[in-house]
Structure 1
Amino acid sequence: MKKLLYGIVCVAFLGFLTACGGGDDETEQDTTPTEKQTTEETAEAGAGDELFQQSCASCHGGDLKSGGAPDLDKIGAKYSKDEILGIIENGKGGMPAGVLKGEDADAVASWLSEKK
């Protein structure tokens, strides 16, 4: 019985550490601008990535696919920017509405729409 309790506590602790991130450098994405991106687009992409890491990565994973929530690494192939923005603002399934709002929600939606 003690081993079972110890196992449950360990799994819960690992889940907590995973949800809170961990600063693992391997999960950071390269945001180096391509020739097509303007400075403004690069700034928006960086803001989208940063906001995602602060507000969304605890559920979706810092690499967009290692969390308990749905994978987002190819979300742009499934939904448009406006559809993603609608999901962020209104929620969908187990995702609550209003996690991000206004310009923050728009920046993340724009950034995620590029993930194909």
Structure 2
Amino acid sequence: MNKKLIALFLGTSLVLAACGGGDKSSENGADDGKSYVDDSAGAKIYKQNCINCHGDNLQGVSGPNLQEVGAKQSKDDIEKIILEGKGGGMPKGLVKGKDAETVAQWLSEKK
């Protein structure tokens, strides 16, 4: 009975170790320990519309990394991309109107 219990414990430990439970910061591109997504209005819009392509921490998935997008582009430039799309990967109109302005302002602060 003891051997079975030990084998079960070791097996469970190996499965848990293989499936994760470690430091998630290296998985999502946030090696610097910063959290890029907060509870602001812009972040909420981002979470609803952009997270699938740009990642849960702005690290980029199928879309580009946005962690420092505000250092490269102005709020107006970001808003234009949100409204009109860019290239073949960024579709236009995912976020519209005031929401587009809000998320563009929020992203422009990421430097």
TM-score normalised by L of structure 1:
0.61
2 CA distance for matches of 1:106 and 1:62?
20
1:86 maps to a residue whose letter is K
Report the secondary structure of 1:85's partner residue: helix
TM-score normalised by L of structure 2:
0.64
Which residue number corresponds to residue 97 of structure 2?
102
Structure 2 residue corresponding to 1:75, chosen from 69, 72, 78? 69
Matches within 5 A, 1:1-116: 29=36, 31=38, 46-93=40-87, 94-116=89-111
How many equivalent pairs are there? 78
- Compared with structure 1, are the counterparts of its residues 66 and 88 closer, same or farther at alpha carbon in structure 2 (3 Å cutoff)? closer
Report the secondary structure of 1:110's partner residue: helix
Report the secondary structure of 2:105's partner residue: helix
Structure 1 runs (4+) greater than 4 angstroms displaced: 26-31
Unaligned 5+ residue runs, structure 1? 1-25, 32-44
Unaligned 5+ residue runs, structure 2? 1-32
Report the secondary structure of 1:65's partner residue: coil
Across the aligned residues of Structure 1 and Structure 2, the Cα RMSD in angstroms comes to: 2.1
1 CA distance for matches of 2:35 and 2:93?
25
In terms of fraction of residues, the more helix-rich structure is 1
Structure showing greater radius of gyration is 2
